[in-house]
A and B are shown apart, each in its own frame.
Chain A
Amino acid sequence: MSTQTNPESGRVLRYVDAIREALGQEMAADPSVFVFGLDVDDHLGIQGSTKGLVDEFGADRVFTTPLSEDAMTGVALGAAMTGMRPVHVHIRMDFMMLAMNQLVNMAAKTHYMYGGAYKVPMVVRSMIGKSWGQGAQHSQGLHAMFAHVPGLKVVAPSNAYDVKGCLIQAIRDNNPVIFMEHRLLYGTEAYVPEASYALPFGHARVHGETDTGADVTVVGISNMVMECLRARELLAEEGVHAEVIDPVSIRPLDFATIKASALRTGKVIIVDNAWVDFGTSAEIAARIAEDDDLSGIKVRRMGYAPTTCPTTPWLEEHFYPNPATIATLAHGLARPGAATWTPDPARAKLAYQTQFRGPF
């Protein structure tokens, strides 16, 4: 699904404002939707993503909580089972570790363990941080932990258009949805229609699909989609054509779109916004390995260094994949036998000035 909407019908909107718009539209449309979590109703409003909601919808439907992530997640579950559609917000994904019991032992299992008697239409929003000292406990992409568990859905939109449509879908979904945002995506802009729309999960997005044959497939997760698009630009200057795939939802995973691209290119790099070992990149690689149509496909994986995230920038810059390291690996895969190429550092830096606004 490369292009789905006419940009004429949208405005350029920031990711953070698209989240805010989705929440406001769903709350206006459905009185059972409410938003709660530490700081959702303060003057900053979760970096602006919940700003003003309390004025519009009142303190009964938009409220902060005690610092009780465990019980508050259970509260969301109990409310969801009894007719409400809660959106529980964590300003960092790391805090969700305090809610693991309710998410894994309870919310994920409620519908199944109770034989379908109850549904769990709840959303758990969280944001992943990066840089300026976010460090060990403000930077983790923990999606693989959640995606491992049947009963949970996991979504990680990487642009403003997707974040609005996916959040609306998540709120309307009758299952617990782990909704991952990335702090560095908050300021990115895309064409976003003003009207409400829901994007179904399990539909990957392909950037740069070409019939004439791309050289390499690069799958990015969350913020790494942006890094992959920047790498794609660097590669293009070397004559290497990369298709960048954004799965958008991790569970359910649209493997068919990844497979189709892999068949076109024969080479797949998975760039996760998380550790490599035992993660989402391993899942995608395993599905490629298990698919007889894809025998002989070359697979490489990139992600966080296998360390805790350090705060100092001199170390942190080596913790994450970046456009230069992604482009270098992709070039090597696409041009086997060619001399190792690395982008000019000054040029790689310029890649960050590019804004990818869609249309999506």
Chain B
Amino acid sequence: MSQSADTLERVYFGLRYTRRVEERVAEIYPTDKIKSPVHLSIGQEAASVAVCDHLNADDIVSGTYRGHALYLAKGGSLKAMLAEMYGKSDGAAHGKGGSMHLVSREANVLGASAVVGTNTPVATGAALSLKMQGTDRVVASFCGDGATEEGAFTESLNFASLKKLPILYVVENNFYAIHEPLSKRWATDRLCERVETYGIKAHLIDDDDVLKMHEIAGAAIARIRAGGGPEFIEYHAYRMRQHVGPNEDFDQGYRNADEADKWLNGDQVDRVGALIDADARARMDADIEAQIEDAVAFAEASAPPALEELHRDVYAD
């Protein structure tokens, strides 16, 4: 890999930041202060971090209910995220969206859906806008392996390719839809081939190598920005925690810790951390902890929403 020291530091920061935020969320969760189900990205943060490192502030991302990593990687406010999860008035959606619907107009996070696959066409529509508006902005649309089974996914690919839209589709394949493995859901695992039949350049990264992802995504986004039309990346990663909730679940029988070993041993946070200057790493680690504690304090101190908020924003003016 050919990333510069600066890039490695940014990637490390992104990985470590997301990981530590979610670990902190998992610690807080049993206190019931977080009033929202949590679908943690732990183990699969790297896709968001690597892709967003190539995006400008005015580029757009769109994700899923497992969206903490994407929201943070795109520059969404940590304070607004935690306040949202606490159900407080200073939350990203004033407490009305929760963990599954993180959004940031400022950071161009187009939102996240809890109905699998449904944000993919919305992201595609945003790409249509950018093209119609004659900009060189791009969209990165994230979803999981389950979403690729939805009709809206292939409908979106077809349309994006037909219109040569400026969009990168990223599938984080973690091999499970809730608890159901690919082997019970996919007739074949040739997802990239399926995507290529729509005339879309597809890339498979069958380990969770964040630096490989960084390189491939960077080249793809440059081509997309230059008008080359949509591209697709299937990125393999492993969800280390429950589908929903703060804990590990290897005792539940649907998967086992042996399967997770190869992913745990190659954990990308540690790997990239070892590639950067130790002093820089220590400074970043301390900075991350301070930011997290700041944000937790902010969320705790934020007021619950006033009753008027219940009826606000049903319709826009």
Contacts and interface: CB of A to CB of B under 8 A. Distances in A.
Contacts of B35: none
Contact of A118 (B111, B314, B317): B111
B91 A71 contact: no
Interface string B209-237: 00000000000000000000000000000
Nearest to B317: A174
Interface string A38-66: 00000000000000000000001100011
Given A71-B159, A74-B152, A78-B128, A114 B316 contact: no
A83 B58 CA distance: 13
A356 interface: no
Interface in B84-116: 91-97, 101, 103-105, 110-111, 113, 115
Nearest to B91: A115
A106 B118 contact: yes
B159 A116 contact: no
B97 A151 contact: no
Interface string B282-317: 000000000000000000000000000000111111
Interface residues of B, number: 45
Given A71-B124, A82-B125, A66 B158 contact: yes
A150 to B, nearest CB: 5
Interface stretch (B129-137, B255-263, B267-275): B129-137
Contacts of A72: 121, 155, 159
Contact of A151 (B119, B133, B315): B315
B162 A66 contact: yes
Interface residues of A, number: 43
A101 interface: yes
B168 interface: no
Contacts of B317: 174
B315 A175 contact: yes
A79 B128 contact: yes
A165 B71 CA distance: 41
A257 B113 CA distance: 39
Nearest to A114: B103
A81 B159 contact: no
A68 B316 CA distance: 28
A208 B132 CA distance: 48
Contacts of B156: 71, 74-75
B120 A74 contact: yes
B123 interface: yes
Interface in A86-132: 86, 101-102, 105-106, 110-121
Contact of B103 (A83, A84, A118, A151): A118
B126 interface: yes
Given A74-B124, A78-B124, A150-B314, A114 B101 contact: yes
A254 interface: no
B151 A79 contact: no
A113 B60 contact: no
A112 B314 contact: yes
A116 B91 CA distance: 12
Nearest to A73: B121
B122 interface: yes
A233 interface: no
B93 A117 contact: yes
Nearest to A75: B125
A77 interface: yes
A116 B120 CA distance: 21
Nearest to A122: B125
A76 interface: yes
A82 B121 contact: no
A186 interface: no
A113 B122 contact: no
A83 B137 CA distance: 13
Contacts of A78: 62, 110, 121-129
Nearest to B314: A150
B77 to A, nearest CB: 12
Nearest to A86: B125
Contacts of B130: 82
Nearest to B151: A70
B104 to A, nearest CB: 7
Contact of A76 (B95, B125, B132, B316): B125
B316 A79 contact: no
A262 interface: no
Contacts of B97: 113-115
Interface in B15-67: 60, 62
B118 A102 contact: yes
Contacts of A84: 128-129, 132-133
A275 interface: no
A150 B311 CA distance: 10
A81 B130 CA distance: 11
A80 interface: yes
B316 A120 contact: yes
B152 A71 contact: yes
Contact of A79 (B104, B105, B125, B313): B125
A83 B133 contact: yes
A34 interface: yes
Most chain B Cβ neighbours within 10 Å, of A80, A105, A115: A115
Contacts of A101: 115, 118, 152
A113 B314 CA distance: 9
Contacts of B125: 74-82, 86
Interface of A: 34, 60-61, 65-66, 68, 70-84, 86, 101-102, 105-106, 110-121, 150-151, 153, 174-175
For the complex of A and B, 8 pairs with smallest distance between CB atoms: A78-B125, A74-B121, A115-B93, A71-B155, A68-B155, A75-B125, A71-B121, A78-B122
Given A79-B132, A110-B111, A112-B96, 16 more contacts: A71-B156, A72-B159, A75-B128, A76-B125, A77-B121, A78-B110, A78-B125, A82-B60, A105-B113, A106-B115, A106-B118, A113-B97, A115-B95, A116-B94, A117-B105, A153-B315
13 contacts: A66-B162, A71-B120, A75-B125, A78-B129, A79-B129, A83-B129, A102-B121, A106-B118, A111-B315, A114-B93, A115-B94, A118-B105, A175-B315
